[in-house]
Structure 1
Amino acid sequence: MRTGVVQADLRELLDEAPSYLPELMAAKAEAEHGALEGPSVEILTADVERLQAALDAAEAASRLPESAAAEPELNDLLIRVRLSR
Protein backbone atom coordinates (compact mmCIF):
# COMPACT_ATOMS: atom_id res chain seq x y z
CA MET A 1 0.00 0.00 0.00
CA ARG A 2 2.91 2.35 0.61
CA THR A 3 4.20 2.01 -2.94
CA GLY A 4 0.94 1.51 -4.81
CA VAL A 5 2.37 -1.71 -6.30
CA VAL A 6 0.96 -5.14 -5.53
CA GLN A 7 3.76 -7.47 -4.46
CA ALA A 8 2.55 -11.06 -4.37
CA ASP A 9 6.01 -12.60 -3.99
CA LEU A 10 6.67 -12.77 -0.25
CA ARG A 11 10.39 -13.22 -0.88
CA GLU A 12 10.47 -9.59 -1.98
CA LEU A 13 9.08 -8.54 1.40
CA LEU A 14 11.43 -10.46 3.70
CA ASP A 15 13.28 -7.34 4.85
CA GLU A 16 10.19 -6.05 6.62
CA ALA A 17 8.59 -9.38 7.55
CA PRO A 18 8.62 -11.23 10.86
CA SER A 19 11.71 -13.39 11.30
CA TYR A 20 9.69 -16.62 11.08
CA LEU A 21 8.31 -15.91 7.60
CA PRO A 22 10.97 -17.97 5.75
CA GLU A 23 10.02 -21.00 7.88
CA LEU A 24 6.33 -20.52 7.06
CA MET A 25 7.13 -20.19 3.37
CA ALA A 26 9.20 -23.41 3.47
CA ALA A 27 6.40 -25.30 5.24
CA LYS A 28 3.89 -24.09 2.66
CA ALA A 29 6.15 -25.12 -0.24
CA GLU A 30 6.72 -28.54 1.31
CA ALA A 31 2.99 -29.09 1.73
CA GLU A 32 2.28 -27.95 -1.84
CA HIS A 33 4.72 -30.45 -3.31
CA GLY A 34 3.95 -33.29 -0.94
CA ALA A 35 1.58 -36.17 -1.33
CA LEU A 36 -2.12 -35.37 -1.32
CA GLU A 37 -3.78 -36.44 1.88
CA GLY A 38 -7.53 -36.41 1.78
CA PRO A 39 -10.11 -37.01 -0.93
CA SER A 40 -9.07 -38.76 -4.12
CA VAL A 41 -8.41 -36.87 -7.31
CA GLU A 42 -11.58 -38.39 -8.75
CA ILE A 43 -13.72 -37.06 -5.89
CA LEU A 44 -12.11 -33.63 -6.13
CA THR A 45 -12.59 -33.54 -9.90
CA ALA A 46 -16.25 -34.51 -9.56
CA ASP A 47 -16.78 -31.82 -6.91
CA VAL A 48 -15.13 -29.15 -9.05
CA GLU A 49 -17.31 -30.10 -12.01
CA ARG A 50 -20.45 -30.10 -9.82
CA LEU A 51 -19.59 -26.73 -8.31
CA GLN A 52 -18.79 -25.25 -11.73
CA ALA A 53 -22.17 -26.45 -13.01
CA ALA A 54 -23.86 -24.81 -10.00
CA LEU A 55 -22.04 -21.55 -10.72
CA ASP A 56 -23.00 -21.70 -14.39
CA ALA A 57 -26.66 -22.32 -13.47
CA ALA A 58 -26.62 -19.43 -10.98
CA GLU A 59 -25.11 -17.13 -13.59
CA ALA A 60 -27.73 -18.12 -16.15
CA ALA A 61 -30.54 -17.50 -13.66
CA SER A 62 -29.10 -14.27 -12.29
CA ARG A 63 -31.02 -11.04 -12.72
CA LEU A 64 -27.83 -9.02 -12.30
CA PRO A 65 -26.89 -6.81 -15.26
CA GLU A 66 -23.99 -7.81 -17.49
CA SER A 67 -22.06 -4.71 -16.46
CA ALA A 68 -22.14 -2.23 -13.63
CA ALA A 69 -24.86 0.36 -14.11
CA ALA A 70 -23.29 2.90 -11.76
CA GLU A 71 -19.80 2.95 -13.29
CA PRO A 72 -19.74 6.71 -14.02
CA GLU A 73 -20.92 7.50 -10.48
CA LEU A 74 -18.35 5.14 -8.95
CA ASN A 75 -15.62 6.76 -11.02
CA ASP A 76 -16.70 10.22 -9.84
CA LEU A 77 -16.69 9.03 -6.22
CA LEU A 78 -13.21 7.56 -6.59
CA ILE A 79 -11.87 10.79 -8.06
CA ARG A 80 -13.44 12.89 -5.30
CA VAL A 81 -12.00 10.62 -2.60
CA ARG A 82 -8.52 10.69 -4.12
CA LEU A 83 -8.56 14.47 -4.54
CA SER A 84 -9.71 15.01 -0.96
CA ARG A 85 -6.50 13.48 0.48
Structure 2
Amino acid sequence: MSEPKIISKAWAAVRDDEVITTISMTVPADVDFEKYRTHALAALETVGQVRTGEIFELNGEIFFLPRQKSHQNRSKKAPKSPPTPIKMKQYYE
Protein backbone atom coordinates (compact mmCIF):
# COMPACT_ATOMS: atom_id res chain seq x y z
CA MET A 1 0.00 0.00 0.00
CA SER A 2 1.40 3.40 -0.96
CA GLU A 3 1.28 6.64 0.97
CA PRO A 4 -1.51 9.10 0.12
CA LYS A 5 -0.40 11.95 -2.16
CA ILE A 6 -2.20 15.27 -1.62
CA ILE A 7 -3.17 16.79 -4.96
CA SER A 8 -4.86 20.01 -3.86
CA LYS A 9 -7.08 21.82 -1.39
CA ALA A 10 -10.53 22.31 -2.82
CA TRP A 11 -14.19 22.99 -2.31
CA ALA A 12 -16.51 20.18 -3.36
CA ALA A 13 -20.21 19.84 -4.09
CA VAL A 14 -21.34 16.66 -2.32
CA ARG A 15 -24.70 15.01 -2.93
CA ASP A 16 -25.77 11.63 -1.51
CA ASP A 17 -22.23 10.95 -0.21
CA GLU A 18 -20.82 11.46 -3.70
CA VAL A 19 -18.56 14.25 -4.91
CA ILE A 20 -20.27 15.84 -7.89
CA THR A 21 -17.57 18.37 -8.76
CA THR A 22 -14.69 20.32 -7.20
CA ILE A 23 -13.10 23.75 -7.53
CA SER A 24 -9.49 24.31 -6.50
CA MET A 25 -8.68 26.80 -3.74
CA THR A 26 -5.43 27.70 -5.49
CA VAL A 27 -5.47 30.86 -7.60
CA PRO A 28 -2.80 33.13 -9.10
CA ALA A 29 -1.60 35.96 -6.85
CA ASP A 30 -3.27 38.64 -9.00
CA VAL A 31 -6.77 37.16 -8.51
CA ASP A 32 -9.07 38.61 -5.83
CA PHE A 33 -9.41 35.48 -3.67
CA GLU A 34 -12.56 36.59 -1.82
CA LYS A 35 -14.36 37.29 -5.09
CA TYR A 36 -13.15 33.94 -6.50
CA ARG A 37 -14.26 32.15 -3.31
CA THR A 38 -17.71 33.75 -3.36
CA HIS A 39 -18.33 32.77 -6.99
CA ALA A 40 -16.90 29.26 -6.52
CA LEU A 41 -19.09 28.50 -3.51
CA ALA A 42 -22.18 29.89 -5.25
CA ALA A 43 -21.55 27.68 -8.28
CA LEU A 44 -21.05 24.58 -6.13
CA GLU A 45 -24.19 25.26 -4.08
CA THR A 46 -26.26 24.81 -7.23
CA VAL A 47 -25.37 21.10 -7.41
CA GLY A 48 -24.80 19.97 -3.82
CA GLN A 49 -23.71 20.66 -0.27
CA VAL A 50 -20.42 22.56 -0.28
CA ARG A 51 -17.59 20.98 1.71
CA THR A 52 -13.99 22.11 2.16
CA GLY A 53 -11.16 19.57 2.11
CA GLU A 54 -8.27 17.96 0.30
CA ILE A 55 -8.14 15.88 -2.85
CA PHE A 56 -5.65 13.04 -2.62
CA GLU A 57 -4.54 10.01 -4.57
CA LEU A 58 -4.08 6.60 -2.97
CA ASN A 59 -3.26 3.43 -4.90
CA GLY A 60 -4.33 4.98 -8.19
CA GLU A 61 -7.72 6.17 -6.91
CA ILE A 62 -8.76 9.76 -6.21
CA PHE A 63 -10.49 10.72 -2.94
CA PHE A 64 -11.84 13.87 -1.32
CA LEU A 65 -11.28 14.20 2.44
CA PRO A 66 -13.65 16.78 3.91
CA ARG A 67 -12.57 18.92 6.85
CA GLN A 68 -14.43 18.37 10.11
CA LYS A 69 -15.74 21.89 10.80
CA SER A 70 -15.04 25.46 9.85
CA HIS A 71 -12.30 27.21 11.82
CA GLN A 72 -14.62 29.31 13.96
CA ASN A 73 -16.63 26.24 15.00
CA ARG A 74 -13.78 23.84 15.74
CA SER A 75 -13.78 22.33 19.19
CA LYS A 76 -10.66 22.11 21.32
CA LYS A 77 -11.47 18.42 21.95
CA ALA A 78 -10.34 15.67 19.60
CA PRO A 79 -13.06 14.65 17.11
CA LYS A 80 -15.08 11.54 18.03
CA SER A 81 -14.36 10.03 14.63
CA PRO A 82 -12.13 11.17 11.79
CA PRO A 83 -13.80 12.33 8.55
CA THR A 84 -14.42 9.61 6.00
CA PRO A 85 -12.75 10.02 2.60
CA ILE A 86 -15.19 10.10 -0.32
CA LYS A 87 -14.09 8.26 -3.45
CA MET A 88 -14.39 10.56 -6.44
CA LYS A 89 -16.07 9.24 -9.56
CA GLN A 90 -14.77 10.22 -12.94
CA TYR A 91 -17.49 11.55 -15.20
CA TYR A 92 -15.19 11.64 -18.20
CA GLU A 93 -12.11 9.81 -19.38
Normalising by structure 1, we get a TM-score of 0.24
Structure with the bigger RCO (C-alpha within 8 Å, sep 6+) is: 2
Q: TM-score, normalised by structure 2?
A: 0.22
Q: Which is strand-richer, 1 or 2?
A: 2
Structure with the bigger percentage of helix: 1
